[in-house]
Structure 1
Amino acid sequence: MRILSLLPLALLAAPALAAPVEPSVATMKRVVEQLSSDAFEGRAPGTAGEEKTLKLLVDEFTRVGLKPGNKGSWFQDVPLVEITTSNTTPMRFTGGTAPVTAAYGPEMVVGTYRTGIKKVDVKNSPVVFVGYGIVAPEKKWNDYAGLDVKGKTVVILVNDPDYETKGLTGPFNGRAMTYYGRWTYKFEEAARQGAAAAIIVHDTVPAAYGWNVVQSSWTGAQQVAASPNDNADQSMAIGWIEGAKAAGLMRSAGKDLATLTAAAKRPGFKAVPLGVAMSVGFDVATRRHLSKNVVALLPGTSRPNEYVLATAHWDHLGRCEAAPDGDDICNGAVDNATGTAALVALAEANVKAGATPRSQLYVALTAEESGLLGAAYYAAHPVVPLAQTVGGINIDAMSVAGPARNVVVVGRGKSELDAYLARALKPDNRVITDEPTPEKGFYYRSDHFELAKRGVPMLYFEGGDDLVTGGRAAGEAAAKDYERNRYHGPKDEITPAWSWPGVQRDLNAYYRVGRELATTTAWPNWNPGDEFRAARDTSRARASK
């Protein structure tokens, strides 16, 4: 899931921001309660929980007056493969001063993207420390320079080399994570290099979550996108190793993890063979299935072939690592029953306010927790042309900590949509502020990223951290409490402690932004120089021919 200057925007025939309608928090609360109940079993794709979720969403979108959005269907099929591993051996490193063994669960997690195999058996694979595992020619950075890792195991650091920088300048944007820092990129690059196995060293600060999140997210059934070659070009084994255990591995190899990490932060770093070998094995069971994106349409009145998107992911982890009380359902109440329920409340409000000149498309996406798979499939196979998609909002894990004086835009300064949000916040006297933790890379951790890569301007903001009661200290404490005790765990459940007035204010802002986008004749773009600007300019140029 989840984790700047406001540029002037010339409006063409500037509309009123919104009809006098507020999205219903009562509707949202009712839908959250259902989606996050134990009856939905954590909403994992390909389970009974998915079937219940799809039915609920279709019933709700029908009730509020939307139409099926995909050529008469409510659904877009997303081909997935569920991978379940079993009989996992400990990860064993030999050849150092003493053997090092990492137990599955508390000390390491491991799996595979390959879907055409029944067993993984990596034996005595030479281990190489490759620093941050980045190949970035435009930055003159190559952690694999002069290295052949075919058949080998690479050990990789999470995040970017300059994540500890105070400001936002540096080879990898300083404190703000780039995509090179995401764990998904690390595995992609290791596969391109031919590595047999890729293991990321966990460190809570640069990873942005504790080992408990890694363990709960990786020890259940995993979803991957179906591919014609069964992902045979991917590494045989991928996973994480707990930080203290990684440090012990380095000591066994006669190295020091802190010293190696410091060296990896500097340009010109050379990978370090550790002189040890890794072995691990596990059985693989696969199940192919069609998960679903839910697509609902509010047709436009005068420009129905121009579309405004509202997206949220409906999925969560299903059954996961049990809490001490035995609860093993990851209910995903905040992440992301809140965002999914917000789609219903926003659709309901827009129908009550009356259709807009442009069409509004509400898309509840699958398999976000598995790597934005539903969004990636939609972006590659859009139900309406991306060149005719004006832009939109993405809602992922709304704040239930209480009303805030601000909102935090993830990716502030990237697009002209910031100005839409600034206008939407004015009635509540709220402001936009920068991300307090840009090193956590939230921009690359939610569904808007897949649409942005193809040029569609998408706004993603989080509830503010400057709470009306308690200020920033209270906001920071609430965020840390959620991350440590509920995020991707069985205790992400709806409780009486949730504050709904803050949810209402955020919901109002989403509504006003979407309403203006659906009413104006303007086509927002990425700001000049942004990484996604060229894709947008190209698609709009083609559309105008």
Structure 2
Amino acid sequence: MKRNALIFWLMLTAAVWFSCNNNKKTDSQTDTGPIADNDIRGYLSALADDSLTGRKPFTEGETKTINYLAAQFKQIGLEPANNSSYFQDVPLVEITGTPTAMQLNGKTSATLKPGTDFVASTRQELSSVEIKNSPLVFAGYGVVAPEYGWNDYKGLDVKGKTVVVLVNDPGFKSGNRTLFHGDTMTYYGRWTYKYEEAARQGAAGVLIVHQSEPASYPWSVVNTSFSGSKLYLQQDDKHLSRCKMEGWVSEETAKKLLAGAGITEDMRAYARKKEFKAVPLKTTTTISIVNKLKYSTSHNVAAVLKGSTRPDEYIIYTAHWDHLGIGQPDAKGDSIYNGAVDNASGTAALLAMAKAFKNAKEKPQRSIVFLSVTAEEQGLLGSEYYGSHPLFPLNKTVGNLNMDALSPDGESKDIPITGRGQNDLEDYVEAIAKEQGLTVEADPNPWAGGYYRSDHFNFAKVGVPALDMHTGPDNKEHGREWGTKQADTFNAEHYHQPSDNYTRDMDLSGMTQTANILYRIGAKLAGETTFPQWKKNSEFRAIREKSMAGK
């Protein structure tokens, strides 16, 4: 073993030991499951350590992180899930795009500054792309949804044009609960959908108008997450079917563009009208993006605990190990995005969960898979790859239980379920909550589209019942108002920022609470012979039924 590698492992081992042995007064054993705060803390402190340099794929931080995870799975006593390997290769392309300033000419003339007025990138695997004098068109929400009788592109030819569209969907803040899903975002509201639909329509470019409330995050998150290098799954067509430019534009800039076309009222209300038709903005845009391309392979990390009587049926726990690496320094000069909450917390809980199952007196009858996926921050890429290249048959996969960004603020009296109303796994949460005197609630921020923002979604897309739940804002010790304020502060100040760091005074009881509920669900599923189902009105029900028919 090389000297620097040996030093690294000694550092991580020491970090885990130190944390586990210096927090006994604050980390209490829980009576609601086998996982204690202390079981998570050691793993959390190691995964959020500066030595992992922000856990970005394709970096030394990835190598250190995945080797650490594999070593922990082996130490716990789990088998490799990919034949003799703990790793599943995920072929990716890294595109580092550098956009020029964006020139607007026409009714609105301006030179827009990257990072301030807009962000832009391309998926096309070319050395450079250019959009020249492309007419801008306001296409409302950029949605084509036949089941809702909605088509923002009706009668519109956007070939060679750049569409400007709104984030979220028409139901948000409409006051009409029957318009789409009201304030609960559908997939039509996600930025990923906006890009996909614009490409299907043949647009040269697409710009999403940023507004903090319907997006559920501030401009700083857009600037951090949608600029610089981006990773994508490798595609045979080199992504040439996608728009040349995909990006966001500031609300201030969008208002000027729309005003130039005579739209001065609230843009969301204007686009929500039944008679809405796309509006030419009487302005063209010109921009070029120079790319650096790097082809490489990232890795999912997967381990399995074989079932005692039905080893060919699988329950999959997931948590993404990656974060954003090293980026722009904050006011304190910190440039390492350690992602302690997002998502060293879920990955640490995954390891604690694996250890709890391995040490349980009653061994699970079904196999339990522990899958830590890559490139979630780049668009759920690791779980997307697993969904199309599963290590275990999807029609033999009982369900997926996902852990992402667990609360650092302590236990709560409420348990929100992301995308509540989807499948039978929610019934298991209900039963445990009732036993513990907890309230099960819908997602407190349904407009944020949480069900489409973490790795469980890629299991849902291929029909596997998937659950994502968290502790809620109604904090057991401090109450709902305090809990809500803590969550809002994290979202505004620490989400995807260098300040998402591990500290020894973090209250991990909320992480433990979530982990124990999910542990108990998995243990119950492992002892059953039935498969949970999607609810009657779920859009994923038909996919599952088709999959199970070929079982």
Q: Specify the alignment match of 1:109 in structure 2.
A: 119
Question: In structure 2, what is the Cα distance between the partners aligned to 1:198 and 1:377?
Answer: 25
Question: In structure 2, what is the Cα distance between the partners aligned to 1:458 and 1:173?
Answer: 20
Deviates more, 1:212-221 or 1:440-449: 212-221
Note the C-alpha offset of 1:427.
Answer: 4.7
Q: Specify the alignment match of 1:79 in structure 2.
A: 91
Note the C-alpha offset of 1:496.
Answer: 3.6
Counterparts in 2 of 1:259 and 1:343: CA distance versus 1, 3 Å: closer
Choose from 21, 37, 43 the match for 1:25.
37
Matches within 5 A, 1:57-68: 57-68=69-80
Check conservation: 2:469, 2:514, Cα contact below 8 A. no
Question: In structure 1, what is the Cα distance between the partners aligned to 2:492 and 2:304?
Answer: 38
Check conservation: 1:320, 1:330, Cα contact below 8 A. yes
Q: Specify the alignment match of 2:339 in structure 1.
A: 332
Matches within 5 A, 1:216-365: 216-251=224-259, 253-256=260-263, 258-354=265-361, 355-365=363-373
Q: Which amino acid aligns with 2:521?
A: V
Task: Give yes or no for the alignment of 1:514 onto 2:522.
Answer: yes
**What's the % identity of the aligned pairs?**
43
3-state SS of the aligned residue for 1:462?
coil
Counterparts in 2 of 1:303 and 1:20: CA distance versus 1, 3 Å: farther
Q: Specify the alignment match of 2:148 in structure 1.
A: 139
Question: In structure 2, what is the Cα distance between the partners aligned to 1:425 and 1:540?
Answer: 30
Q: Specify the alignment match of 1:389 in structure 2.
A: 397
Check conservation: 2:33, 2:517, Cα contact below 8 A. no
Matches within 5 A, 1:46-65: 46-65=58-77
Q: Which amino acid aligns with 2:252?
A: A
Task: Give yes or no for the alignment of 1:99 onto 2:106.
Answer: no
Choose from 43, 56, 59 the match for 1:44.
56
3-state SS of the aligned residue for 2:165?
strand
Check conservation: 2:400, 2:465, Cα contact below 8 A. yes
Q: Which amino acid aligns with 2:165?
A: I
Q: Specify the alignment match of 1:494 in structure 2.
A: 502
3-state SS of the aligned residue for 2:298?
strand
Deviates more, 1:360-369 or 1:420-429: 420-429
Question: In structure 2, what is the Cα distance between the partners aligned to 1:488 and 1:75?
Answer: 26
Question: In structure 1, what is the Cα distance between the partners aligned to 2:31 and 2:548?
Answer: 29
Q: Specify the alignment match of 2:482 in structure 1.
A: 474
Q: Deviations over 1:305-326 (max 9, x none)?
A: 0101100111111123321222
Unaligned runs of 5+ in 2: 1-29
3-state SS of the aligned residue for 1:290?
strand
Q: TM-score, normalised by structure 1?
A: 0.93
Check conservation: 2:205, 2:245, Cα contact below 8 A. yes
Question: In structure 2, what is the Cα distance between the partners aligned to 1:237 and 1:30?
Answer: 43
Please tell me the root mean square deviation across aligned C-alpha atoms, in Å: 1.6
Matches within 5 A, 1:312-461: 312-354=319-361, 355-461=363-469
Q: Deviations over 1:334-363 (max 9, x none)?
A: 011100111100000000004211000111
Note the C-alpha offset of 1:502.
Answer: 2.2
Task: Give yes or no for the alignment of 1:126 onto 2:135.
Answer: yes
3-state SS of the aligned residue for 1:341?
helix
Give the length in aligned residue pairs: 521
Question: In structure 2, what is the Cα distance between the partners aligned to 1:186 and 1:258?
Answer: 23
Q: Specify the alignment match of 1:532 in structure 2.
A: 540
Check conservation: 2:417, 2:441, Cα contact below 8 A. yes
Counterparts in 2 of 1:150 and 1:113: CA distance versus 1, 3 Å: same
Question: In structure 2, what is the Cα distance between the partners aligned to 1:375 and 1:275?
Answer: 42
Question: In structure 2, what is the Cα distance between the partners aligned to 1:395 and 1:99?
Answer: 47
Unaligned runs of 5+ in 1: 1-17
Question: In structure 1, what is the Cα distance between the partners aligned to 2:205 and 2:485?
Answer: 38
3-state SS of the aligned residue for 1:463?
coil
Choose from 90, 113, 117 the match for 2:101.
90
Note the C-alpha offset of 1:21.
Answer: 5.8
Note the C-alpha offset of 1:497.
Answer: 4.2
Counterparts in 2 of 1:62 and 1:153: CA distance versus 1, 3 Å: same
Note the C-alpha offset of 1:386.
Answer: 0.4
Question: In structure 2, what is the Cα distance between the partners aligned to 1:244 and 1:474?
Answer: 32
Check conservation: 2:300, 2:373, Cα contact below 8 A. yes
Counterparts in 2 of 1:133 and 1:20: CA distance versus 1, 3 Å: closer
Counterparts in 2 of 1:20 and 1:123: CA distance versus 1, 3 Å: closer
3-state SS of the aligned residue for 2:550?
helix
Choose from 465, 483, 491 the match for 1:483.
491
Q: Which amino acid aligns with 2:68?
A: L
Note the C-alpha offset of 1:139.
Answer: 1.6
Question: In structure 1, what is the Cα distance between the partners aligned to 2:70 and 2:266?
Answer: 55
Q: Specify the alignment match of 2:21 in structure 1.
A: none
Q: Deviations over 1:257-280 (max 9, x none)?
A: 544432211223210001100011
Q: TM-score, normalised by structure 2?
A: 0.92
Question: In structure 2, what is the Cα distance between the partners aligned to 1:153 and 1:450?
Answer: 29
Check conservation: 1:19, 1:353, Cα contact below 8 A. no
> Relative contact order (alpha carbons < 8 A, sep ≥ 6): 1 or 2 greater?
1
3-state SS of the aligned residue for 1:364?
strand
Check conservation: 1:120, 1:281, Cα contact below 8 A. yes
Q: Which amino acid aligns with 1:323?
A: D
Q: Which amino acid aligns with 1:94?
A: N
Question: In structure 1, what is the Cα distance between the partners aligned to 2:390 and 2:292?
Answer: 31
Question: In structure 2, what is the Cα distance between the partners aligned to 1:162 and 1:459?
Answer: 24
